Structure 1
Amino acid sequence: MAEFNFIQKLHSSTKRDYVARVVEADKAECARVAQQWGQDYWDGERRFGYGGYRYDGRWRPVAEELARHLKLKPGMRLLDVGCGKGFLLYEFTQVVPGLVVAGLDISAYAIDNAKPEIKPFLSVGDAASLPYGDGEFDAVVSLGCLHNLNLPDLWRAVGELQRVCPGTAKYVMVESFRDEREKANLLYWQLTCRSFHDPQSWAWLFGQAGYGGDWGFIFFE
């Protein structure tokens, strides 16, 4: 299993003022609000999270790349853990017609405000305790979710991904850093991250937890 960074180009297209996030707001309070995963996080002011998370097609190229990488075919069952409003899952259904999809997110607000076409296939739940049977899925993705868990829950969540999808068609993306500048930028910018690891440590953790898929990162350059 190996590292493939499909999301960095999209991530880097957004400009961020890392220092301003720390000095111009009560960052601790902003983080407290963000970790409620409610309206403020998704559609409130930028200091609390996304600053308005609306469908704009940005996930289509990512879905295309991941569909090729995971060799998705019509009739396969795909789970997105940490699906948010379901925009990526919607794009998967457009890229691979006939794909059977399911999504799970901790945020009831995100599920309630999901893209209408995909909302019936989404559920509120915990990545560390997936409400699915052993081997229920042919493929799993989880983008920008697992770094929000503390280490015990992260360990359980990685095991859960493997349990519901024992094959190799899995892809996880988390936040990481390659040097001290990127580590500082991540610490300045993040509101919800609880697990801070460099790529080598993430790879070690995935291996120790028995994860049998691929992974990738976004870096705060």
Structure 2
Amino acid sequence: MAEAGEKETHDQFEKRFSTLVIHGFVSLSTSLGIQSGLFDALIKLKDEERTVKEIADTAGLKERYVKEWLGVMVAADIVDINPETEKYSLPPHRITFFQSGSSDSNLAVTLTDLTMYGAVYKKLLDCLKKDGPQGLSYSEYTDFHTVMSNHSSIWVLQHLVQDFIPSMPQIEERMKSGIRILDLGCGRGLASLAFAESYPNSTVVGLDISQEAINYGKERAKEKGLTNVEFIREDAACIPDDWNNTIDYIYTFNVIHDLAHADKVLLALNRILKPDGVFSMIDIDCKTKHSENASNEYCSMLYTMSLFHCLAISLFFEGSVGLGTCWGREKATEFLKDAGFQVDSITKPVGSSQAHYMCTKILK
């Protein structure tokens, strides 16, 4: 890339574009290795050199395909090869990036999204056409809630009650004493269950529009013997009036930017939050203007996720505000204020690249 202030040359862009194309293909193969269990096999075999057959047998896969996959990994410097023995190994310093549950594995989880996006590629092409569909239904995304749960699980399990809630001592003490907590867009209920287990004096409500996700949360709560959590299927924009001023703490994680009627949902959340309540909106951290996200590779990934998922599912609904993943701090703050919230602080939670908008009601 050209230095700041310099005009990029043809050759510089060719090199950069070539790298982008190559990385795209390698990403597909890396995702395949994660989902097929090949990286799990390499980890199980530790960092010792192994033959193609040993790796294939450990993974329970066909040897010829595994050999071709290893060719990709060796050429991309992800898997090492001994040129004298033609045996393969995954070095120790790379293992945690492919090890389920490790703090480094978020990148690998993100890579596996590619298959979900690929499945809707042709339908998204139709959405782009002026006379095409407005958006895509949640039902178009196979195993959506498993994917979303994989994204949030590491942070929720390692940081939610260990670091995040303690960063707000005023609400943590109330949780310990016993309050009513709402986990909006709870998905499969991982955060709801964590709240219920850690704060047994509090009552937790997990709310989501997906019956499949709600059923999953109910089953996990039953398995854990938790009686202070309930899961409810409900459109967040249609929360009944008898909830008004009944919730002490509202928590959302990467939910609001997906919502077709985010403006109405935020108004509903303001309505049900007690006057002294707190609303934690954790969402993508970026700027609203494209120009302020220029040359930011991380944002280029986020915009792609939005194009293939977040924006498309939002625009499926009539009257959608169409926020998209990268609605940014400026627009997020505007929406929150319009809904009657005061943004007391915007911080980055420990272990996360997201933004935490800690909000309270503007009292009239």
Normalising by the smaller structure, the TM-score range is 0.7 to 0.9
Q: 2:178 aligns with which of 75, 83, 98?
A: 75
- CA RMSD, 1 decimal: 3.6
Instruction: Name which structure has the greater RCO, CA cutoff 8 Å, separation 6+.
Output: 1
Task: Please name the residue that 1:146 is paired with.
Answer: 256
Task: Please name the residue that 2:106 is paired with.
Answer: 14
How far is 1:141 from its partner? 0.8
Cα separation, 1, equivalents of 2:151 and 2:300: 29
Cα 1:107–1:56, aligned 2, differ >3 Å: closer, same or farther? same
Cα separation, 1, equivalents of 2:117 and 2:231: 37
Cα separation, 2, equivalents of 1:122 and 1:22: 26
SS in 2 for 1:84: coil
Cα 1:201–1:216, aligned 2, differ >3 Å: closer, same or farther? farther
Q: 1:155 aligns with which of 263, 283, 286?
A: 263
Cα 1:40–1:164, aligned 2, differ >3 Å: closer, same or farther? same
Cα separation, 1, equivalents of 2:152 and 2:335: 33
SS in 1 for 2:163: helix
Q: 2:221 aligns with which of 106, 116, 119?
A: 116
Deviates more, 1:159-168 or 1:171-180: 171-180
Cα 1:25–1:56, aligned 2, differ >3 Å: closer, same or farther? closer
Per-residue Cα deviation, 1:148-196 (whole angstroms, up to 9, x for no partner)? 113xx11111111111113341101223424233432112123134413
**Alignment length (residue pairs):** 202
**Which residues of 2 match residues 1-221 of structure 1 at below 5 A?**
13-15=105-107, 16-17=110-111, 26-27=120-121, 29=123, 32=136, 35-36=138-139, 40-43=143-146, 49-50=147-148, 53=150, 58-60=155-157, 61-68=159-166, 69=168, 70-71=171-172, 72-114=175-217, 115-117=220-222, 121-131=230-240, 132-150=242-260, 153-166=261-274, 167-178=276-287, 179-180=293-294, 181=296, 182-190=298-306, 191-193=309-311, 194-196=322-324, 197-212=327-342
Gaps (5+ residues) in structure 1?
A: 1-9, 44-48
Cα separation, 1, equivalents of 2:117 and 2:178: 50
Cα 1:38–1:201, aligned 2, differ >3 Å: closer, same or farther? closer
How far is 1:26 from its partner? 4.1
Cα separation, 2, equivalents of 1:67 and 1:113: 25
- Which amino acid is the alignment partner of residue 301 of structure 2? N
Cα 1:122–1:37, aligned 2, differ >3 Å: closer, same or farther? farther
How far is 1:29 from its partner? 4.0
Name the structure with the higher helix share.
Answer: 2
Kept after mapping to 1: 8 A contact 2:181/2:248: yes
Kept after mapping to 1: 8 A contact 2:116/2:142: no
Cα separation, 1, equivalents of 2:103 and 2:343: 22
Kept after mapping to 2: 8 A contact 1:19/1:188: no
Cα separation, 1, equivalents of 2:154 and 2:116: 30
Cα 1:155–1:20, aligned 2, differ >3 Å: closer, same or farther? closer
How far is 1:111 from its partner? 0.7
How far is 1:79 from its partner? 0.8
Kept after mapping to 2: 8 A contact 1:67/1:92: no
Which TM-score applies when normalising by structure 1? 0.73
Q: Rg: which structure is higher? A: 2
Cα separation, 2, equivalents of 1:12 and 1:19: 16
- Which amino acid is the alignment partner of residue 172 of structure 1? M
Cα separation, 2, equivalents of 1:207 and 1:74: 30
Cα separation, 1, equivalents of 2:273 and 2:156: 23
Cα separation, 2, equivalents of 1:161 and 1:100: 17
Cα 1:168–1:12, aligned 2, differ >3 Å: closer, same or farther? farther
